[in-house]
Amino acid sequence: MGALDLPSQAVCIETRHAKRLCLRHDDIELPSCIDSTRLQLQLSQPVQSPAVWHEDDNDGHFNHRPGENLTPRYKILRQMGEGTFGRVLECWDRDAQELVAIKVVRSAEKFREAARIEVNILRTLAENDIRGTGGCVQIKDWFDYRNHICIVCEKLGPSLFDLLQTNNYHPMSIDLVQEFGRQILNSVAFMHSLRLIHTDLKPENVLLAATEYQNTLNYEAPISNKIKLIDFGSAAYAGGDCFSVVSTRHYRAPEVILGFGWSFPCDIWSVGCILVELCSVFVSLTLFSRVLCTALCLELGCDNIM
């Protein structure tokens, strides 16, 4: 056995108990049958730190810190958002060498079951969108990690709500709103052709494909107008329970609030609310919708105002 001729640096060896043993290369002896040149190349690669265990918070959300691993494949960079369902993390995919968005669902069984349904819906959308023209976010992978279902999707840019915020809620140009409207309706038509109803369309769930803005006449406009729909956690197939309360209140169709039963048209109502909100400097249709439906509910004694 001969000494390994490698640069003088420490080698970290991971033990089964997650403890680390650090040796120097010149302290290591190898059998002559081992290719030291190949080993040198392997040792030159960065050592991946083990995943750190954090207890979930009281609501079952996955706790994490930037820089930690979400499985050896994904490195957590930052938290992009949080909702009732769980948290969305921006991660680096070491295998594909690209950024991804991972939805880490809360550990409670009702959220896990909803996540399984969402995975199936995303797969259905992907399988029927071979040319990539459906305008819905693309699922890349999913896995179960520490009792959290994790859904890996393509990394997109900010939402239309973020775009409104960036511009202090100033109205968008009619041309831009028309382009957004055309794409949203195209995506909705694609979903409806598969008998799927989104049920939660709103500016927060319409994302730009590009992450950068460009200043145009004192307006921060996206460098690309391409958009995609996200968040299919509330999506449902037509013909199921159509009397539950769906949609975010400000984008909720009257038939939902009045308890008349809903179907494909509830998505179209939400699209109309979004488009008016994007281009109007006056009272938006979302507020009008709320006032009108509240008045109707009070008149008819409905319980679905909130």
Q: For residue range 142-192, what is the model confidence (pLDDT) as tens digits?
A: 999 999 999 999 999 999 999 999 999 999 999 999 999 999 999 999 999
Q: Do 262 and 198 have their domain in common? A: yes
What is the extent of the structural domain holding 122? 69-154
Q: Do 188 and 253 have their domain in common? A: yes
Residue ending a domain, choose from 154, 180, 208: 154
Instruction: Answer whether 44's CB lies under 8 Å from 26's CB.
Output: no
Q: Do 91 and 37 have their domain in common? A: no
Q: Do 187 and 221 have their domain in common? A: yes
Provide CB contacts within 8 A for 55, sequence distance 6+. 63
Phi, psi of 123 (to 5 degrees): -65, -40
- 49 belongs to a structural domain: no
Q: Which of 141, 175, 200, 241 is catalytic?
A: 200
Computed over every residue of the chain, the mean pLDDT equals: 82
Q: Do 167 and 292 have their domain in common? A: yes
Residue ending a domain, choose from 86, 121, 154: 154
Phi, psi of 293 (to 5 degrees): -70, -35
* Banded model confidence at residue 282, pLDDT cuts 50, 70, 90: very low
**The predicted structure's pLDDT at residue 304:** 59
Model confidence, pTM: 0.76
How many structural domains compose the chain?
A: 3
Rounded distance between C-alpha atoms, residue 73 and residue 96, angstroms: 9
Instruction: Answer whether 192's CB lies under 8 Å from 235's CB.
Output: no
Please report, as a single letter, which amino acid is at residue 243. F
Cα–Cα nearest to 104, from 146, 156, 151: 151
Q: Do 175 and 278 have their domain in common? A: yes
Instruction: Answer whether 250's CB lies under 8 Å from 269's CB.
Output: no
Q: Do 13 and 138 have their domain in common? A: no
- The CATH number of residue 130's host domain is 3.30.200.20
Q: Is the predicted pLDDT of residue 17 greater than 60, yes or no? A: no
- 55 belongs to a structural domain: no
Per the annotation, the verdict on 200 as an active-site residue is yes
Assigned token pair, 144: 């179960």
Q: Do 74 and 176 have their domain in common? A: no
Residues belonging to the chain: 306
pLDDT digits (tens, 9 = 90+) for 244-266: 999 999 999 999 999 999 999 99
Q: Do 32 and 105 have their domain in common? A: no
**The predicted structure's pLDDT at residue 296:** 62
- 57 belongs to a structural domain: no
Assigned token pair, 185: 């309706």
Q: Do 175 and 257 have their domain in common? A: yes
Tell me, letter by letter, the H, E, C secondary structure of the chain: CEECCCCCCEEEEECCCCCEEEEEHHHCEECCCCCHHHHHHHHCCCCCCCCCCCCCCCCCCCCCCCCCEECCCEEEEEEEEECCCEEEEEEEECCCCEEEEEEEECCCHHHHHHHHHHHHHHHHHHHCCCCCCCCECCEEEEEEECCEEEEEEECCCCEHHHHHHHCCCCCCCHHHHHHHHHHHHHHHHHHHHCCEECCCCCHHHEEECCCCEEEECCEEEECCCCEEECCCCCCEECCCCCCCCCCCHHHCCHHHHCCCCCCCHHHHHHHHHHHHHHHCCCCCHHHHHHHHHHHHHHHHCCCCCC
- 306 belongs to a structural domain: no
- Percentage of the residues of the chain whose pLDDT score is greater than 90: 62
- 54 belongs to a structural domain: no
Q: Do 73 and 148 have their domain in common? A: yes
- 60 belongs to a structural domain: no
Q: Is the predicted pLDDT of residue 96 greater than 90, yes or no? A: yes
**The predicted structure's pLDDT at residue 297:** 62
Rounded distance between C-alpha atoms, residue 293 and residue 255, angstroms: 9
Rounded distance between C-alpha atoms, residue 34 and residue 273, angstroms: 67
**The predicted structure's pLDDT at residue 160:** 96
| Other C-beta atoms lying within 10 Å of the C-beta of residue 215 | 8
- 50 belongs to a structural domain: no
